[in-house]
Every structure is written in structure tokens, then in C-alpha cells.
Amino acid sequence: MRVRCTKPSFKGEMPPDGDRWLTIGAEYDVLCVSFSADNNVSFRLIGNDKHTPALFSGELFEITDQSIPRNWVVCKKGERDYTFGPRAWSEVGFWQSYFDGERDAQAVFKQELSVMTVS
């Protein structure tokens, strides 16, 4: 799944050095989708820093490729929230462990990412 950025990721006035996270008009691979019963949608993707798998509001993008990676599943998160992406990434505490630099979580991230990028 790919999306094209149509709006800046910040609110308010443009920073003097531009938007560090996203470039309007650029396309990004979606790593997973989070959505809730109240119609909030977020895409997790690696933006301009080429490193951080960050969450961004779905309102900032248009979908350019609707293909779904073969390792994506729908997982319920709490009462009204869901994720659509690799099952391992939906496990409680996964993203906390990943951002804390835990090797196991980072290895799982790389493994699932490699499955998504195989044609």
C-alpha cells in the first residue's frame, strides 16, 4: 500500500527549514493502518528521516496503491480501535519495545518489513 502526501504534517506556520517528516507530493509505503470506530485513521510509515516508523493522520494522504501486503491481518486494540498490519506489531508493548531499542522488537520489525517489500 502506498500513499501520497497532500498536506503538511504540522499545524500552523511552515517551519523555516520545511516539514522534516513529510514532503507534499511524495509517496510513502504504508507499514500498517490504525483505525477506530469514530473514523480516525492513521498510517504508520517511514517519512523523510528514512528511519522512524511514525504515525500520521490519514487526512494528510491520498492512496496511490491499494495493494495489501501478504503479512497484514486485522487486530482489535481495546474497545473501539483496530490495526491492519503485521500481527507481531499489534502485540501489546511492541512499539514501546521497538522505540526503547530492544533488539528482539527491532529484529521483528525488520523481518516483517522484509516480507512487505518482497514482490
- Which class for 85: exposed (0-12), middle (13-18), buried (19 or more C-beta within 10 A)? buried
Model's pTM, two decimal places? 0.86
> What pLDDT digit, counting tens, does each position of 45-104 carry?
999 989 999 999 999 999 999 999 999 999 998 888 999 999 999 999 999 999 999 999
d(CA 9, CA 60): 7
